[in-house]
Amino acid sequence: MRERALKLVEELPESRLETLIEFLASEQKPGDVIDEWGNLSAMTRASTARTMRRLEEQEQQAGHEP
């Protein structure tokens, strides 16, 4: 399992590594909601960070200050 995970990480484009790192770092904290879908709290934290990063990139591309 570990070898497969490492292979997938090695093949991941550089642009996706930050998202993966954020997700892994936020994986489980006290009080997180975990059910059959997984760690919903960690998914929400990672999704929020990804959304904010995309918005910042779009603002910069449009010539606005983020």
Within a domain: 15 = yes
Within a domain: 54 = yes
Within a domain: 49 = yes
Q: Containing domain of residue 15, as a range?
A: 2-61
Within a domain: 35 = yes
pLDDT, tens digit, for every residue of 11-41? 888 888 887 777 776 667 778 777 777 777 8
The count of domains in the chain is 1
Structure pTM?
0.46
CA 66 to each of CA 10, 19, 44, 54, 61: distance values in angstroms, whole numbers, following the listed order: 31, 19, 22, 11, 10
The answer to whether 57 and 49 are in contact (CB under 8 A) is no
Within a domain: 66 = no
Within a domain: 11 = yes
The answer to whether 32 and 39 are in contact (CB under 8 A) is yes
The answer to whether 53 and 37 are in contact (CB under 8 A) is no
Within a domain: 31 = yes
